[in-house]
Structures are given as structure tokens and as C-alpha cells.
Amino acid sequence: MGAALPDVERAVPGLARWLQMVFRVLGGFVVTTGLFTVYLAASSLRTGRVAMSILSILALTGLTSIGWMAVMNFVIDSDSKWPLLGLAVLWGGALILASSGSQRGR
């Protein structure tokens, strides 16, 4: 943001505490998204017969979670933008692999 920390704390008292809560909620969201993905991978994706509806749900989940987070971090020029983009690319790659695997299983 280009502002010194003491200036921000003076201008917006309580911001640090609020941000701590925001990032705790964000962490819970990230864990939940990961658990959902692991569940789908351990159940339906392991059979080799992946329904396109499952891949669609995983694609939408990736776009609305890590994809959107990466985009917003580029918008605000965050230090975390590149690691988040890397995770989004990994998610997309996994979807491509799962999709190609489901096409071969038919």
C-alpha cells in the first residue's frame, strides 16, 4: 500500500486485529477446499471413471477459490501473488490430468 505501519495503525486502529481474524477465516476456507478436493480424489477420481460433473465442480471450485484469490492478489500487487498463481496452475494441471484420464477410462 506504500504506507508506513505506524501511520496505518494510527489511521485505522484495530486493523491488525481485524486482519488476523480475516486470515484465520481464509485459512479455514483453504483447508476446507483442500479437504473437499482430497475427498473427491480419494473417492470418484480413483476409479478412473470421472464424471464430467465432478470435473466441472472441481473446476468451479478452483476458479472461485484459488483462482480468484490469485487474481485479486495480482490486482493489489501482493507479495503472495506468484505462489498463489502457482497453486492455481497446479490445480488446473490436475484437472487436465484427471480429464485426460477419464477420457481414456471410457
Question: Could you report the per-residue pLDDT of 60-77, keeping only the tens digit for each?
Answer: 888 888 888 899 889 988
State the Cα–Cα distance between residues 89 and 74, nearest whole angstrom.
Answer: 14
Residues near 64 by beta carbon (within 8 Å), at least 6 away in sequence: none
Sign of the alpha-carbon torsion through 65, 67, 68, 72: positive
Mean pLDDT of the chain: 82
* pTM of the full structure: 0.60
Residue 29 confidence class, pLDDT cut points 50, 70, 90? confident
pLDDT top residue among 89 and 37:
89
